[in-house]
Amino acid sequence: MSQNIIVERLRHVNACAPLKAYADIRLSDGILIKDCRIIQQDGQQAWLSMPRISWTPEGENKPHYKPLVILPKDLQKAAQIAALNAFTGGTDE
């Protein structure tokens, strides 16, 4: 089943961090996923990260992460293409 994914809102982040933007993505069945992250490490291609929570266990100094939304691979790929096209001003091809 083909998904028509719409990026409803894109907010660029002006920082030196790998976080480049936040995207709100609407799936064709009406589900809205807010605050997906567009990440780009130096010298690498950008990618889409679904919303997540983080916590730092007591006694540790590194955070742990857990995704809040897990999409099937084909839907994740379609969402990433739509978000990155909105981020770069590209097209769906």
- 3-state DSSP of the chain: CCCCCEEEEEEECCCCCCEEEEEEEECCCCCEEEEEEEECCCCCCCEEECCEEEECCCCCCCCEEEECCCCCHHHHHHHHHHHHHHHHCCCCC
Is 26 inside any structural domain? yes
Is 55 inside any structural domain? no
Is 1 inside any structural domain? no
Is 79 inside any structural domain? yes
pLDDT digits (tens, 9 = 90+) for 45-54: 999 999 999 9
Tell me how many domains the chain contains.
1
Is 58 inside any structural domain? no
Domain that holds residue 41: 6-49+70-88
Is 78 inside any structural domain? yes
pLDDT digits (tens, 9 = 90+) for 21-63: 999 999 988 999 999 999 999 999 999 999 999 999 999 999 9
- pTM of the predicted structure, to 2 decimals: 0.84
